[in-house]
Structure 1
Amino acid sequence: MTIELNKIISLLTYNPKNPILFNSAFFMYYFAVFLLFYLAASSNKRARVAVFTVFSLYFFYMACGMYVGLVLLSAVVDFNLSRWIYRSEKAGFRKRLLILSIVLNLGLLFYFKYTNFFIDLMNEMAHGNIQPLKLILPIGISFYTFENLSYTVDVYKREFKPVDDFMDYLFFLSFFPKLMMGPIVRAADFIPQIYKPYVLDREDIGKGMYLIIAGLFKKVVISDFINQNFVQYIFDDPAKHTGLECLLGVYGYALIIYCDFSGYSDMALGIARWTGFKIPANFDSPYQSSSITEFWRRWHISLSSWLRDYLYIPLGGNRKGKVRQFVNLFLTMLIGGFWHGASWNFIFWGGLHGTALAVDKVRIDYLKQKGGGPSGFWGGVLKVIGVLITFNFVCFCWIFFKASTFSDAWSLIHQVVYDFQPEVWLELYNGYTAVFWVMLLAFVLHFLPKKMELGTENLLGKVPVVGNVVIMVVFIWLMAQVKSSQTMLPIYLQF
């Protein structure tokens, strides 16, 4: 009896070697229990909020242990500061409170995420010997920090009235579907939904089902499979592989990071939909983009729109001349790169995208002066060329995003340029046949028309609830058959 009890306790407590994930077996049981309690409380707003918040905090505890306290601390600080800001009539005092909120939020983020980066930088510049701190990056801190900041800024600008009930704010901040890896949700989009009665219609069921199944498929079948069986070998030591292998490894990584991150975002949206909340989409087939500007309207939409509204526009946006606009674009993406991690690789990655956005702005302005580009057949040809150029540029940038060091990144590029060896393609295909077919499948699915996705959602919405349960159970069973025994942590968990 004691042994069984200890086993149950160990399953219900945080294990740093096995954090809770959307694709873990424990999450399936957790989510089933959560739904039972949530449905029981569905008719009462306060009860719904309480149940969801408790389960969200427990979910976060199972993901990162006692760091769940940072979410509580952030909620307490920004809930009170935002109310103080809103009630004050003195402009100077309100501004000081806003600055305090920004300093506290960014200070917490900088301490955990960038302290050791700057210690290393000071050691290099001053030949010092300061020992790095033993810090562990709390999961999700980059996401809920940005949500806190957008909330207080919107309250300061009087674009949003702060909530009166602390539990409502804690619920918004800790909402478990998006807590660890986003999307970054604005309070103005989310909080009004708290006060609406819980209604689940066929559209919600179909949309939620499609998003959850699609997300799991992207993560488990595509991303994890390609990563474990091909791409991780390439990036571990690029110099050991031919240029052709390295190039295909880069294309594989482009699929991995998209399917991994958008897969989790899809699951977050689907779970939210089943619980009565609509979260804005975070991805929109980004590799279909025909320009880098379009790419950033389709990739990690919640981050790119946050950077636009709370960084690019406050810097001056396009209101202070062309040169300043280009500088603002570059700085915004440079900071966006730094947001991803304390590494020169991320900063360089952001700088590449910032430069490309500035150059693309020149192209857009030129086309506007000429009355737009060609249409018809030649317009279609140029669009295809644009998609190919944009995709390959994004893939080039992914090299620096993925590589552990600059040296590894340049080593991979060197292999592609100077040691391509196209004659090994048949041997390579025979060695990684399944991987390349999965990659092809992923590209085909990515470029399918949007109407096919909508048709699948509508079809699932017409299936009775019992039928949906059967579909989900069968799908989860199939995922269990192909899922690797090795846990593949989501890429964006590190951000």
Structure 2
Amino acid sequence: MFTQVDFWLFFTGVYVIFASIYKKIALRNAYLFAISLLFYYKTSGLFIGILIFSTLVDFFIGRTIYNSKSNVKRKVLVVTSVCINLLVLCYFKYAYFFTDSFNYLFHSDLKVFNWLAHWGNGFASQSYFTVDKIILPVGISFYTFQTISYSVDIYRGNLKPLKSIVDFGFFVSFFPQLVAGPIVRAESFVPQITKPTEVSVSDFNRGTFMILKGLIKKMIFADFIAMHFLDRVFDAPEMFSGFANVMAMIGYSLQIYGDFSGYTDIAIGLALLMGFELPKNFDSPYKATSAGNFWRRWHISLSTWLRDYLYIPLGGNRKGTTATYIIIAIILGGVMLAFGNTFVYIMIPTLVLAAVAAAYVSPVIRNHINTNINVMLTMLIGGLWHGASWKFVIWGGLNGVGIVTYKFWRKISPYENSKHWLVHAWKVFFTFLFITFTRIYFRGESMDHIQRWYHQVANNMDWVHAWDILVNYQMVFWVMLLGYIAHWLPYSTKDKIEELYGKSPAPVKVVLAAVVGVICYQAFSTDFQPFIYFQF
């Protein structure tokens, strides 16, 4: 893990050998592929077999798609690739979700049984795997999307397949971003694999700067406030006032940003030191002026992936497709079965019929309906990608509602085109509140846990003792304030800080790195804080 000394000893050894072989491209790629497999094995053990399986399947399917002259065969192959990858992902990530949902809807009592582990144990004649539960392999959501992008980009004609399976394995498993992203698109990373390594002074400066910045974000702005305040509140919200719960949610927005963007900063920095460019994954998301603008700044590699491989194929902002209507029919049918009351049985068909009638009368209305359905489906599926639970679906749906609502609001808002700083500040503030307080569905461990949080906020704000909370946890709140100030600094100021770092002499960089290391490990606790997105 990037915050442990063990990793940096590992990386130092890897980098020393890399520096001696990087000029030989084939050897470099084979070496980094082997190191990445070792890294994943140390992270996930025998689940490395799933990674190798995905690599083999998509390498050969991608090559066959490229060599095929039949459009029908190409379509069958790309659909096969997508289905295999999604079935593997669904098996490990959504088995409990689908089983529990089925049991709830149809009042059955089906149990999850790990057939893959059962077959594996039978094949090996030993009990290597646990059969009574399915464990989620680390990073499966990330590398699954990467291998899908490879097959689809070849099918679309945007990419030529790699000739070597070792090179493709390197693309799938590159260790800095393997377990928590950013999601690397084949068309942007594959061309780098066949190029000679070039690490300029600028790349080295930027890479080390990103690593130091990522460590500060993770270990101070995320872990410190989580260990000393946030986790205590979220573990037992009923033991704290509503005010403390609200402050914990505000702190959680900083924590999850510091945690996830800290990881990707370090991953980008490590890749730069080896001559590879990973995509930017965050762009000051809490400067966003709307929910849609936020998702263009947050987890950019996922939101653009969903846009290009889901939203646009569903019809985007132009039309609806057969897949659009099938998916929305399944979702609405599930809602009707879940609620199972007369009001829902009447309301949903009535709304559907009204939408169909309006779409039939007006092409403009039809276009709006299709666009907004596609937006909602993309956000619902994006929510489900984050976790196999209805609370993630609700979270994704709320974000979808936020995006759609703002699309209509901006057409009637008298301040939409205003350049006044107060208007801009209000948009940023309101968007931040919306994003922060919909995240209770992201952070809450269960719907009961979320309800307890809501109860405290609604019934026990306890303003009388609010100052005591601020005083007793003042170090946490000072760190939170510093974190948000750093986040909201102008881009020009941040660029100047990075430029100043780059121009500083090597001894100054060494001293600065040592200072950052001391500060981070002074804030470090014996309670290990894994990266939040490892669970996704």
Which position in structure 2 is the counterpart of 1:252? Answer: 251
- Where 1:220 maps in the other structure, the secondary structure is helix
Contact 2:259/2:531 (8 A) holds in 1: yes
Q: What is the one-letter code of the residue matched to 2:435?
A: V
Give the Cα–Cα distance (whole angstroms) in 2 for the partners of residues 88 and 182 of structure 1. 32
Q: What is the one-letter code of the residue matched to 2:163?
A: D
Return closer, same or farther for 1:366/1:82 CA change in 2, 3 Å cut-off: farther
Give the Cα–Cα distance (whole angstroms) in 2 for the partners of residues 422 and 341 of structure 1. 35
> Structure 1, residues 120-171: CA drift from partner, whole Å, max 9, x if none?
1222233322223311100000000011111111111111111111111111
Q: Does 1:358 align with 2:404?
A: yes
Q: What is the one-letter code of the residue matched to 2:54?
A: S
Return closer, same or farther for 1:346/1:27 CA change in 2, 3 Å cut-off: same
Q: Does 1:332 align with 2:331?
A: no
How far residue 461 of structure 1 moved from its aligned partner, in angstroms, is: 2.2
How far residue 393 of structure 1 moved from its aligned partner, in angstroms, is: 0.5
Which position in structure 2 is the counterpart of 1:493? Answer: 534
Q: Does 1:40 align with 2:20?
A: yes
- Where 1:298 maps in the other structure, the secondary structure is coil
Q: Does 1:185 align with 2:184?
A: yes
Give the Cα–Cα distance (whole angstroms) in 2 for the partners of residues 474 and 438 of structure 1. 17
Contact 2:216/2:516 (8 A) holds in 1: no
Q: What is the one-letter code of the residue matched to 2:110?
A: I
> Structure 1, residues 262-306: CA drift from partner, whole Å, max 9, x if none?
000100011111110111210011011111111011000000000
Which position in structure 1 is the counterpart of 2:67? Answer: 87
Q: What is the one-letter code of the residue matched to 1:375?
A: S
> Structure 1, residues 337-373: CA drift from partner, whole Å, max 9, x if none?
0001110110000000111111122234557xx8x83
Give the Cα–Cα distance (whole angstroms) in 1 for the partners of residues 300 and 430 of structure 2. 21
Matches within 5 A, 1:417-456: 417-456=458-497
TM-score normalised over the length of structure 1: 0.92
Q: Does 1:230 align with 2:271?
A: no
> Structure 1, residues 318-352: CA drift from partner, whole Å, max 9, x if none?
10211110010000000000001110110000000
Give the Cα–Cα distance (whole angstroms) in 2 for the partners of residues 319 and 418 of structure 1. 46
Give the Cα–Cα distance (whole angstroms) in 2 for the partners of residues 212 and 337 of structure 1. 29
How far residue 466 of structure 1 moved from its aligned partner, in angstroms, is: 5.5
Give the Cα–Cα distance (whole angstroms) in 1 for the partners of residues 532 and 89 of structure 2. 19
Unpaired segments ≥5 residues, structure 2: 114-132, 320-366
Q: Does 1:271 align with 2:270?
A: yes
How far residue 195 of structure 1 moved from its aligned partner, in angstroms, is: 2.3
Contact 2:242/2:457 (8 A) holds in 1: yes
Q: What is the one-letter code of the residue matched to 1:249?
A: A
Matches within 5 A, 1:110-125: 110-125=90-105
More moved, 237-246 vs 318-327: 237-246
Give the Cα–Cα distance (whole angstroms) in 1 for the partners of residues 496 and 48 of structure 2. 40
The one of 55, 58, 63 equivalent to 2:38 is 58
Matches within 5 A, 1:10-409: 21-133=1-113, 134-320=133-319, 321-366=367-412, 373-376=416-419, 379-409=420-450
Give the Cα–Cα distance (whole angstroms) in 2 for the partners of residues 271 and 246 of structure 1. 37
Contact 2:410/2:416 (8 A) holds in 1: no
Return closer, same or farther for 1:465/1:188 CA change in 2, 3 Å cut-off: farther
Give the Cα–Cα distance (whole angstroms) in 2 for the partners of residues 340 and 31 of structure 1. 29
Contact 2:176/2:268 (8 A) holds in 1: yes
More moved, 446-455 vs 71-80: 446-455
Give the Cα–Cα distance (whole angstroms) in 1 for the partners of residues 294 and 416 of structure 2. 19
More moved, 356-365 vs 208-217: 356-365
Matches within 5 A, 1:406-417: 406-417=447-458
Q: What is the one-letter code of the residue matched to 1:91?
A: N
Give the Cα–Cα distance (whole angstroms) in 2 for the partners of residues 51 and 301 of structure 1. 29
Give the Cα–Cα distance (whole angstroms) in 2 for the partners of residues 97 and 471 of structure 1. 52
Give the Cα–Cα distance (whole angstroms) in 2 for the partners of residues 37 and 467 of structure 1. 26
Give the Cα–Cα distance (whole angstroms) in 1 for the partners of residues 385 and 262 of structure 2. 21
Give the Cα–Cα distance (whole angstroms) in 2 for the partners of residues 405 and 287 of structure 1. 26
Give the Cα–Cα distance (whole angstroms) in 1 for the partners of residues 42 and 507 of structure 2. 30
Contact 1:102/1:149 (8 A) holds in 2: yes
Give the Cα–Cα distance (whole angstroms) in 1 for the partners of residues 188 and 509 of structure 2. 28
More moved, 413-422 vs 77-86: 413-422
Give the Cα–Cα distance (whole angstroms) in 1 for the partners of residues 411 and 159 of structure 2. 34
> Structure 1, residues 221-271: CA drift from partner, whole Å, max 9, x if none?
111111111111111122222110110010011111110000001000111
Q: What is the one-letter code of the residue matched to 1:299?
A: W
Give the Cα–Cα distance (whole angstroms) in 2 for the partners of residues 350 and 125 of structure 1. 22
Unpaired segments ≥5 residues, structure 1: 1-20
Contact 1:221/1:479 (8 A) holds in 2: yes
- Where 1:314 maps in the other structure, the secondary structure is coil
Contact 1:203/1:458 (8 A) holds in 2: no
Give the Cα–Cα distance (whole angstroms) in 1 for the partners of residues 512 and 376 of structure 2. 47
Give the Cα–Cα distance (whole angstroms) in 2 for the partners of residues 374 and 335 of structure 1. 32
How far residue 445 of structure 1 moved from its aligned partner, in angstroms, is: 0.6
Give the Cα–Cα distance (whole angstroms) in 1 for the partners of residues 469 and 27 of structure 2. 57
Give the Cα–Cα distance (whole angstroms) in 1 for the partners of residues 35 and 516 of structure 2. 25
Q: What is the one-letter code of the residue matched to 1:135?
A: I
Root-mean-square deviation over aligned CA pairs: 1.5
